[in-house]
Amino acid sequence: MARLRHAFIWAILLIVMLGPVLAISASPLLAYRQPVYILASFAGGIAMALLVIQPLLPNNDMPGLTRRFGRMIHRGTGAVLVAMLAVHIGGLWITSPPDVVDALLLRSPTPFSIWGVLAMWGVIVTAALAAWRRKLKPKTWQRGHVGLAALIAVGTVFHVILIDGTMGNVGKAVLSGAVVLATGLAVWRVWRPRRA
């Protein structure tokens, strides 16, 4: 019975994560676009999909996984997330350097760009913090890491919601809701008040 429940939960997670990403391939916004732009769109979608499971993996919230294995996968998906972000931004840079420069300098007229840059810096600082983890106190590391995860989630959700993107309205709403719920659970676990 437990295996059936675990399989059901994994199936729901995969549908929530992969459905919006697969919807990108049917988007009319990609018609006549360069292959590098299409690759950048998919990379952004994959990165956001990973944000659904990233907060769940290290806290033993994924059914059928041990805490140790979940943390190992968490590190691996974190590296994939950084790579997908690099592909997303690199692809957009190749297709439209002025837009990327405006976004990075926070002078873009489109608010979704500002939120995307905020999320990008959150990912970069998180990766740097992970590299220096052993030099930090465990509680400092945990709270900083989870705080940055919240920043990444909020920035990403606003970036996706505000843009007329390739995932479509339903896909991005479902994925955004899942990211907020998963990240909210991780933040609550770390920052909840402890009983004396």
184-194 per-position pLDDT tens digit: 998 988 777 66
Neighbour count for residue 16 (Cβ, 10 Å): 20
pLDDT of residue 176: 96
Residue at 106 is within a domain: yes
Contact (Cβ atoms closer than 8 angstroms) between residue 30 and residue 22: no
State both tokens at 147.
């705080």
pLDDT of residue 38: 93
pLDDT of residue 138: 84
Residue at 80 is within a domain: yes
Rounded CA-CA distance 62/72 in Å is 13
Q: Which domain holds residue 59?
A: 2-191
Q: Which residue has the tokens 């990211």?
A: 179
CA nearest to 57, candidates 80, 77, 38? 77
Helix (H) or strand (E) holding 157: helix 138-162
Structure confidence by residue, pLDDT tens digits, 112-143: 999 999 999 999 999 998 888 888 888 888 88
pLDDT of 196 higher than 60? no
Residue at 119 is within a domain: yes
Mean pLDDT of 93-108: 93
pLDDT of 4 higher than 90? no
Mean pLDDT of 161-167: 89
Tell me the pLDDT band of 92, cut-offs 50, 70 and 90.
very high
pLDDT of residue 3: 82
Mean pLDDT of 60-79: 90
pLDDT of residue 195: 58
Domain total for the chain?
1
Mean pLDDT of 25-47: 92
Q: How far is CA 64 from CA 16, 67, 181, in A?
A: 19, 10, 20
Phi-psi region of 32 (alpha: psi -120 to 50; beta: other; left: phi over 0): left
Residue at 196 is within a domain: no
Residue at 145 is within a domain: yes
